[in-house]
Structure formats: C-alpha cells, structure tokens
C-alpha cells in the first residue's frame, strides 16, 4: 500500500450561524503502487475534499493519511517538498490550474529547478522530454496558457505534475471540463503513463463510465461517506448498494440490444450537502427505493459482504434481497 487513509474526516465550520458541514466522515481507502483507485459520487459527496486532503492542500479534522509507509500527522499543514515528490494533483479545470503569466517552459521548469531535479542547462531538454511524454511537440514551450486548448492545457498540467516524478497522481475529474472528443485522448494518455511510469492513480469522477475504463478498485461515495467499495468488476457488475445501482443505470448504454430498456432513474435529488450526522438512519434512505423500517432507525456501517466487496446498506446485507435484485 503506497497511499492509505484511516477514518479520514473533514468538517467545515458553519459560517454565520449555519451548522458545520461534514464534507468527509470516516473515509478509509487504500491504494496499491501502480494501480488505480476510482472514486465515484455526485457533486457534494466529498470527493474533491478527499483529493485536497490527499494532496495536502487542507488538513483533516480527524483521521490520518499514510504515504509510502509514513503516517502523516493530521495537522501537517503545508505540503512539503518530500510530499510533492510522492503525490501530485491534477485539477478539473486545466486553464485555471496553470498560472496565466507563465509559459509552458517556465511552469514546468520551475518544478525542476525548485526540486533541483536536473542541472540548470538541462532544464529545457527535460521540459521537452516531459512534453513528449504527454504527446505535445517541443514548440509548445513558449506558449502561455491562454494559447492552449483545454486538452493541451490538461496535458501541460499533467506534464508539470510528472516533472516532480511522483509515485501517485490524484486526478480530480481530469476530463470533465474537456470536450467529449478530447476526453478519450486524455484517458488513453493516463493509461499509457501509468504503464510507463508505474504510477498509482486516485481517479475521481462523477461518471461511472469514465472510472470503469481505468480503475482496479472502485469506491462509491455518498454525502461524505463510503457506501460501496470493491474490485471494479464486482462493483460494476454486481453493485450491492442501491445508490451504486442508480449510478450504473444512469450510464448511457451504447449497445442497441439493451438500449430499449428504460433506465432506472434516481429519485429527485435531496439537498446534496450533508449538514450533519445527527439524524439517525441511513443517509440514502430518503432517496432509496428499497428502504425498510430499519433504514430509518440505524445507520448502516461499511461491511464486507462478498470477499473484498463491501457496502454500507442494511438491505444489501440481507442475502435474500441481494440475489433477488442482482442484475436489475
């Protein structure tokens, strides 16, 4: 395990008399070196908060993060140089993640110089090398971010992250701000880079279809908590939690033989942001088509139900129900 979290929680203080927001509660994940952990959930489920905590942009309220065998103190605030060499973050909006005043060479070269990764006179060559890794020609070195398309800017952002030679990339919706035609190119680039550099990925997305292409393991989050976790085939083919099923049903089917079936729909979204863990019962209960009496009384815990496949659901835990609804 190269990256792990243990009962990671983040609570934002409520401003102006509003109650505190539990963005993340008790999240434990594990990432093996060179593999991909997909994190799925709708907006407001805490997945971007998780990305910021992993990268060190914010410090957790409770719980801990372990990185390459070392447990980071929960109040380690600024990301250190050592941490930068281990873990890097790729943002959703590539243009806003690049300093508008720096050229591509300045932006990437700065990383090389700050970390003293190459000799001063070799900086240009190394920048060109990094650009080649993300399939951009050397002439891009003089460009400013506003002279790049979304896909090009995201490639530069990835090259800049790779300049620090990290072992882990946290990808926070790296394709969702891009044109559909460019998404596949970036995804293929990420797959290739993982093969070449043995990178570990934490791939965050709201789109289950995007995550399935790349993930070895999938974590489904709902309102700051993990509701389902397991190997990607198990989670996709035999989802245990009704929320995962609803997410899977929302993925458009490209197969014309199957496309005729009307997709199951998510009930109208409730207020998405979790305002507190005060209420008893399952967080998903108000939207859940399978809810039973027990779901309103006690909150389900994440339990391994099928080998390494875990879910936090009372109904799924009942085996009769599980087999009855599988594949639906």
Q: Which is nearer to another protein, 201 or 222 (CB)?
A: 201
Q: Which is nearer to another protein, 184 or 280 (CB)?
A: 184
Does 17 participate in binding another protein (rule CB under 8 A)?
Answer: no
Sign of the four-CA dihedral 205, 208, 210, 214:
positive
* Smallest gap from residue 107 Cβ to another protein (A): 9
The owner of tokens 């203080």 is 13
End-to-end CA distance of the chain: 34
Q: Where are the beta strands (DSSP E) in 151-191?
A: 168-172
Hey, which residues between 75 and 104 contact another protein (CB under 8 A)? 78-85, 87-89, 91, 93, 96-101
CB proximity list for 311: less than 8 A, separation 6 or greater: 227, 228, 229, 240, 241, 244, 302, 303, 305, 317
Closest CA to 30 of 206, 217, 197: 217
Closest CA to 26 of 240, 271, 312: 312
* Smallest gap from residue 125 Cβ to another protein (A): 20
Q: Which is nearer to another protein, 115 or 287 (CB)?
A: 115
Q: Which is nearer to another protein, 152 or 283 (CB)?
A: 152
Q: Where are the beta strands (DSSP E) in the chain?
A: 3-12, 21-27, 30-31, 36-40, 62-67, 70-72, 87-90, 168-172, 200-205, 217-222, 225-231, 303-306, 309-311
Q: Which is nearer to another protein, 85 or 206 (CB)?
A: 85
Q: Which is nearer to another protein, 66 or 165 (CB)?
A: 165
Instruction: Kindly indicate which of the ranges 18-26, 72-80, 116-124, 240-248 contains the residues binding another protein, using the contact rule CB under 8 A.
Output: 72-80
Binding mask 98-137 for another protein (x = CB under 8 A): xxxx--------xx--xx-------------------xxx
Instruction: Kindly indicate which of the ranges 66-74, 159-167, 216-224, 251-259 contains the residues binding another protein, using the contact rule CB under 8 A.
Output: 159-167
Between CA 65 and CA 5 the distance in angstroms is 4
Which of 18, 192, 265, 326 is the binder for another protein (CB under 8 A)? 192
Which residues are registered as beta bridge partners of 90? 171
Q: Tell how strand 36-40 and strand 200-205 pair up.
A: parallel
Q: Which is nearer to another protein, 172 or 285 (CB)?
A: 172
Per CB under 8 A, residues contacting another protein are 52, 55-57, 78-85, 87-89, 91, 93, 96-101, 110-111, 114-115, 135-137, 143-152, 155, 157, 160-161, 164, 182, 184-185, 188-189, 191-192, 213
């Amino acid at each position: 395990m190269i990256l792990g979290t243990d009962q990671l929680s983040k609570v934002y203080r409520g401003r102006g008399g509003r109650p505190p927001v539990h963005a993340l509660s008790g999240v434990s994940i594990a990432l093996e070196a060179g593999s991909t952990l997909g994190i799925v959930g709708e907006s407001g489920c805490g997945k971007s908060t998780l990305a910021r905590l992993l990268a060190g942009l914010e410090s957790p309220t409770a719980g801990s993060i372990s990185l390459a065998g070392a447990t980071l103190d929960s109040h380690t605030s600024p990301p250190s140089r050592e941490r930068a060499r281990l873990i890097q973050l790729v943002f959703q909006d590539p243009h806003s993640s690049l300093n508008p005043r720096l050229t591509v060479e300045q932006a990437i070269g700065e990383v090389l110089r700050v970390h003293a990764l190459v000799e001063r006179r070799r900086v240009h060559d190394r920048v060109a090398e990094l650009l080649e890794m993300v399939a951009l020609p050397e002439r891009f070195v003089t460009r400013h971010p506003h002279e790049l398309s979304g896909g090009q800017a995201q490639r530069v952002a990835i090259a800049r992250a790779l300049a620090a030679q990290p072992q882990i990339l946290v990808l926070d919706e790296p394709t969702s701000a891009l044109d559909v035609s460019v998404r596949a190119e970036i995804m293929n680039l990420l797959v290739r880079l993982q093969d070449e550099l043995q990178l570990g990925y934490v791939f965050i997305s709201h789109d289950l279809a995007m995550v399935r292409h790349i993930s070895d393991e999938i974590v489904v989050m709902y309102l700051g908590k993990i509701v389902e976790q397991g190997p990607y085939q198990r989670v996709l083919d035999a989802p245990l939690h009704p929320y995962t099923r609803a997410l899977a049903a929302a993925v458009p089917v490209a197969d014309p033989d199957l496309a005729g079936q009307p997709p199951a729909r998510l009930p109208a979204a409730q207020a998405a942001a979790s305002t507190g863990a005060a209420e008893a019962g399952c967080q998903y209960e108000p939207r859940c088509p399978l809810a039973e009496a027990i779901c309103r009384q006690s909150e389900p815990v994440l339990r391994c139900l099928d080998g390494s496949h875990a879910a936090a659901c009372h109904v799924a835990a009942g085996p009769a129900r599980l087999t009855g609804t599988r594949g639906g």
